[in-house]
Amino acid sequence: MSAITYIEAIREAMYEELHRDPDVYCLGEDIGTYGGAFRATAGFLEEFGRPRILDTPLSEIAIMGASIGSAMLGMRPIAEMQFADFVANGFNMLVNFAAKVHYRWGPSCPMVVRLPTGGGTRGGPFHATNPEAWFTRVPGLKVVCPATVYDAKGLMKAAVRDDNPVLYFEHKYLYRRLKDELPQGDWIVPLGEARVAREGRDVSVITYGSMVYHAGLVAETLAADGIDVEIIDLRSLIPLDEEAILESVRKTNRVVVLHEDTKTGGFGGEISARIAEFAFEHLDAPIRRVASLDTPVPHAPQLEDAFMPMPADIEAAIRATVTY
């Protein structure tokens, strides 16, 4: 059994689901003949043919609309946004139709929207944002953010099988940096179940996506100084595994909330609020948030590094929390 990358895990999950269920199909810009902007669907057109692999016009609102309509009729579309930033063009379809159709009329809307997200790849203000928080406040949508090769595959398979619209935020920085061997057979990672990425006793880092990777590197550095960091990988933002967060905070009594999205309005504010509401008496230090600056994503490498949470920022926040 050979190791595969994060993006290969996503590709493998879609490939298996396309074979497993004839109602599953893929659509998006350049996903067929070209194989997708990041080659996630390369060879799918030859394997599955049309109409199961559909190249669409350059219109995100049309992609969303077609996905919703076909999902209501029993299909299970996997729609690709070439970059997560472009989902803004299909925002109305997602929040006013996909999210509400079951509540209003009764039919399910089983669709997955693939959203290549995040910075660290010098994509600039139109190709590197983290817009997950836009959707976490919309009842009816599910939001997942895999941080490992295992979860990239397992969460995708679970998302395809879910009867609700699922926004699948896949981090471009991780695409070919992570590699792992995966189990054989048919398995999923259930939506809404966080995992303890690293056991620790001194401070909890609550995070998701690429920041799980960065937090892990920082935790190894701090271990040399006797600081034992626990890392909670949320995996899903909606549904949120609130109990996993609270259990970790009750254990360590200190918490850093970390994400790559901008601080103001980011999902870290919701996590912090729940900790303050339900675990305040267990805190021995203020909740600290580490996030990107409240600006558009810069294109210049040195500016993007200043904009995003870097290992030094994470380390400083953890040290300040532990020594408070």
The pLDDT tens digits of the residues spanning 27-86 come to: 999 999 999 999 999 999 999 999 999 999 999 999 999 999 999 999 999 999 999 999
Q: Which two tokens stand for residue 15?
A: 């490939």
Q: How many whole angstroms separate alpha carbon 216 and alpha carbon 200?
A: 12
Q: What percent of the chain has pLDDT over 90?
A: 99
Distance CA 317, CA 289 (A): 8
Q: Write down the pLDDT at residue 180.
A: 97
| 127 is an active site residue | yes
Instruction: Find the helix or strand (DSSP H, E) in which 78 lies.
Output: strand 76-80
The residue type of 221 is T
pLDDT of residue 126: 95
| pLDDT digits 0-9 by tens, 236-272 | 999 999 999 999 999 999 999 999 999 999 999 999 9
Report the C-alpha gap between 286 and 196 in whole angstroms.
22
In percent, the amount of the chain with pLDDT more than 70 equals 100
Task: Please identify which of the residues 19, 127, 171, 259 carries the catalytic annotation.
Answer: 127
Phi-psi region of 213 (alpha: psi -120 to 50; beta: other; left: phi over 0): alpha
Helix (H, G, I), strand (E, B) or coil at 309: coil
- The single-letter DSSP state of residue 296 is P
Residue with tokens 């600290």: 288
Res 2: pLDDT: 87
pLDDT for res 86: 97
Average pLDDT of the chain, as a whole number: 97
pLDDT at 108 over 90: yes
- Sketch out the chain's domains with CATH numbers: 4-180 (3.40.50.970), 195-322 (3.40.50.920)
pTM of the model: 0.97
pLDDT at position 1 over 90: no
Tokens standing for 60? 């995100």
Q: Is the pLDDT of residue 218 over 90?
A: yes
pLDDT in tens, 169-202: 999 999 999 999 999 999 999 999 999 999 999 9
Sign, CA dihedral 178-132-102-235, equals positive
* Beta strands in 129-211, from DSSP E residues, in sequence order: 142-144, 166-171, 179-180, 195-198, 203-207
